[in-house]
Amino acid sequence: MSSSTDPSQVPGGLVWFDEPPPPRATEQLSREKVVAAAIAVADAEVRGEVTMRAVAARLGVRSPMALYRYVGSKDGLVDLMVDEVYGEIDVPPADDWRECLRGLGCSTWEAVQLHPWFARLAFSRPPLGPHALATYDAVLAGLAGLRLDAATRMGFIDTVLGQALASGLALLEERAMRERVGLLTDEQLGAAARPYLERITAEGRYPHFIAWANDPGRFQPPPNSFEQVLEWLLDGLARLADVRA
């Protein structure tokens, strides 16, 4: 699975292990409300950072300590947030393993565009919540027809998930960079870089890159989009599946 962490060695344990059930929900607080508020805070923050104080403020709760009764710990809250986003990943039932992996990749990419922080936190805790396990189970069902060993089947899943999460990490870092330097649009970034590109062009440095940058067709289809990269990955996995079979 995507995280290689030994669950028994996770500090504080996972929220799914040996945790007492959360207290009865009140009009102001419940586990679901705490998780929803934390996700809203993370979505609004440029780097997706979450503090218990910020979550409490969003819920109108005076003391952040009140939240721990519902999520156990800050790590427990992360477990719940990550699993909630896994619940947004839709794996279509399909007899075609490639269509199954394509659905996993595209749906995960949609999720990380909505919640870029998910790409970072998904690696921080083992994916053993009910939504995560349901996602893996659905994809493994789609791969069941392939005559591949267990490690290779999980490798196929991790290849696709890894691409989606890596793209999400890039999105998260780019968003933070643009906010930090004040270049929020592609036009602003291009305008800021133009004098530098003109200088290195005049100096004759990096000729192949400059030729690419000046090529009017560089952004024409097929673009280097997530969907295109996913197809390249699936082409490679198909060849591997044929060899292993």
Phi-psi region of 13 (alpha: psi -120 to 50; beta: other; left: phi over 0): left
- pTM beyond 0.75: the answer is yes
Phi-psi region of 48 (alpha: psi -120 to 50; beta: other; left: phi over 0): left
Closest CA to 42 of 102, 94, 106, 120: 120
pLDDT digits (tens, 9 = 90+) for 101-138: 999 999 999 999 999 999 999 988 889 999 999 999 99
pLDDT digits (tens, 9 = 90+) for 225-238: 888 889 989 999 99
How far apart are the C-alpha atoms of 110 and 171, rounded to whole Å? 12
Cα angle, residue 131 at apex, residues 127 and 135 outer, rounded to 5°: 80
